Structure 1
Amino acid sequence: MNHQTVRDVMSSAVVRVQAGTPFKEIAHLLLEYDITAVPVVDAGDRPVGVVSEADLLHKMWGRPEAGATGTAPRPAKTSATDAAGLMSSPPVCAHEDWSVVDAARVMARHGVKRLLVVDGDQRLIGVVSRSDLLRVFLRTDQALRTEIVEEVLVKTLGEAPSAVQVDVTNGQVVLSGRLSPGVSVTELEELCGAVDGVVAVEFRPVPEPETDGEVRP
């Protein structure tokens, strides 16, 4: 099975600035494009940092005000006048060929809402956000069923397509049937759960046919 890659879901139109971009120009870009952060790149278009709305707001937080409480400003950013002084560095990046699962794990580990996407030469080619990763859950139930039957049951487990009934409703997968002796329910459920867009998996075994105990010739 192949997960969708970051390249499949990322946004390739990326507003970017360089280290010398002035404070006001960055603020203007954030408002003009309705974005909350902008990557900072070097002369080779390789990301070196990110400037966010919060970085710009250090300028306001740094102004003394009676009775003010909250997050303490960072002195360096309070006095910064360009991207080099404002940015948070190093940026958290994803490679274009990462799976969406890898990207989601890195986002969670670093507590960030987006990742800069780089190619094999570490050049910026896009941005992937949490909402971009959620696109995998927009896959149709039919697409999920087809992948489970063809990739999980047949190709990976070697089962006949008719061995297990696969029903998918709103991303929830219900499997019913009898598995071959070498295939476990746990393995089947884990493989189906790893399909991009699957929300939940349940296996319902088919009862063995009852016998009357008589031995027939």
Structure 2
Amino acid sequence: MYRRIKDVMTHEVVSTGGQTSFKQVARLLSDNRISGLPVVDGQEKVVGVISETYLLQHQAQQAEEHGRRHVRRPKLTRSARTAAAKARARTAVRLMTRPAITASPDHYLTEAAKIMSERDVERLPVVDDTGRLVGIVTRGDLLRVFLRTDEEIRRDVIRRVTSGLDVPRYAVDVGVEAGVVTLKGLLELRDDVELATRIAAQVDGVVAVSSRLTHRRTGSRARSAAGAFGHM
């Protein structure tokens, strides 16, 4: 089974309430050596997220506002108005970004990585079906999958590829060096070659796949790629 967020997330999460003061938020970040934290309501449901970036923007904006106090300012853009509002924020609820971008414990790590990349966020609060905070996952947590040894990756690729194709283990020779997988062997169908490459590429810790597989004949598989490796 591909690794999920619940396998790498931090369960003990530092969070805060909406009425926490600016200075208390700064203290929480500093004391716990973290760069962001979720904001929760009375039922521990996530309502927003605060990043240390917002606190730095607060300070920068305050300095800029002071310097331009006696200067006529042009009409602000939407993003500039948002930044100005954060500069005046005194509590977490005013400082946070909402709605919070969250994830489920059962999301695959690849899904979490896609969300972080597309939404340009450093962390995702993890919530249960009711929206309650149960953990947090960061980009650093996702990168840990690349710390797997080549031998661990090799064993995983062999198991998943041969199981997905329903072929003997000796049918595919798998080599791994620095996370780069090389596949060799003779398979029955061209579709098998393409499927083997896709399966190997989705194994945790794989950096790239080089396929030197060959095939006896052209043909199609009755089952889909998703069916082949969706429940291993």
Amino acid in the other structure paired with 1:33:
N
State whether structure 2 residue 167 is matched by structure 1 residue 159. Answer: yes
**Distance verdict in 2 for CA 1:187–1:72, change over 3 Å:** same
**Distance verdict in 2 for CA 1:36–1:29, change over 3 Å:** same
Contact 2:150–2:179 (Cα < 8 Å) also in 1: yes
> Matched residue of 1:162: which SS?
helix
Task: Quote the offset at 1:72 in angstroms.
Answer: 4.6
Task: Quote the offset at 1:203 in angstroms.
Answer: 2.0
| Structure possessing the higher radius of gyration over alpha carbons | 1
Task: Give unpaired runs (5+ residues) of structure 2.
Answer: 70-78, 217-232
Task: Give unpaired runs (5+ residues) of structure 1.
Answer: 209-217
Task: Quote the offset at 1:205 in angstroms.
Answer: 4.1
State whether structure 2 residue 14 is matched by structure 1 residue 9. Answer: no
Task: Quote the offset at 1:54 in angstroms.
Answer: 2.9
> Matched residue of 1:94: which SS?
coil
State whether structure 2 residue 161 is matched by structure 1 residue 146. Answer: no
TM-score for both structures, normalised by structure 1: 0.85
Structure 2: distance between partners of 1:117 and 1:206 = 43
What percent identity do the matched residue pairs reach?
A: 38
Task: Quote the offset at 1:150 in angstroms.
Answer: 1.7
> Matched residue of 1:64: which SS?
helix
Structure 2: distance between partners of 1:104 and 1:36 = 18
Report the structure, 1 or 2, having the larger helix content: 2
Structure 2: distance between partners of 1:21 and 1:48 = 14
Counterpart of 2:199? Answer: 191
Amino acid in the other structure paired with 2:194:
T
Show the 5 A alignment for 1:96-175.
96-153=105-162, 155-175=163-183
Instruction: Kindly provide the CA deviation profile for residues 89-112 of structure 1, in whole angstroms up to 9, marking residues without a partner as x.
Output: 111101001000110111111111
